[in-house]
Structure 1
């Protein structure tokens, strides 16, 4: 599976928008075999959880798939979302990444955001 930053951004925005009651009931579900777009969102949510940007109750079954229940942003997740929240800034980060020939990775995102912010101000 290819990492898709647009999906990860939308997952972070979705989790941030959940109220307390919605958070308690919300589940990302990744079936073992599915081409469903919701399965892709769940895979990306689980990646974000593995990197420490989301927290929640993670479990899997032998027959169905993997779950992330009651997802919440962590402090690093909130910081990441602050960097990529605004659509204009996010589009500029992707543009700068493409111009420089640098892939967007967790480690390079802050640097790309700095370059993008500078480009937007000039």
Structure 2
């Protein structure tokens, strides 16, 4: 499965919107053998947790799959989301990355955000 930054952004926004009570009852579930859209979202949530952008309880079963229960944003996750939250900035970042032939990666997001915002704020004319 290919990493999809739009899905990861969507997961971060979803987790941020959860109340504490809702988060305590929420989980992402990735069955071992499924490409269902919700399973794909769960795999992306698990990637975000693996890199420290989400917290929660992660576990797996041999028969079912992997879970991330009680997801919460970490401080690093909140910082990442702040840089990709606005749709216009996000679209500009993806456009710059494509134009420059740079892949979207955890390490390049911050630099792309600064570049996109700089271009958007530059005087025209």
TM-score (norm 1): 0.99
Count how many residue pairs are aligned between Structure 1 and Structure 2. 122
User: Following superposition, which runs of at least 4 residues in structure 1 exceed 4 angstroms of deviation?
Assistant: none
Q: Provide the C-alpha distance between the structure 2 equivalents of 1:54 and 1:35, rounded to a whole number of angstroms.
A: 22
Q: Provide the C-alpha distance between the structure 2 equivalents of 1:91 and 1:7, rounded to a whole number of angstroms.
A: 14
Q: Provide the C-alpha distance between the structure 1 equivalents of 2:118 and 2:8, rounded to a whole number of angstroms.
A: 24
Question: What's 1:46 paired with?
Answer: 46
Q: Any idea what the Cα deviations from partners look like across 1:47-98, whole Å, max 9, x if unmatched?
A: 0000000000000011000000000000000000000000000000000101
TM-score (norm 2): 0.96
Question: What's 1:13 paired with?
Answer: 13
Q: Provide the C-alpha distance between the structure 1 equivalents of 2:35 and 2:13, rounded to a whole number of angstroms.
A: 23
Which 5+ residue runs of structure 1 have no aligned equivalent? none
Q: Provide the C-alpha distance between the structure 2 equivalents of 1:104 and 1:114, rounded to a whole number of angstroms.
A: 14
Question: What's 1:104 paired with?
Answer: 104
Which 5+ residue runs of structure 2 have no aligned equivalent? none
Question: What's 1:77 paired with?
Answer: 77
Distance apart, 1:35 and its partner CA = 1.6
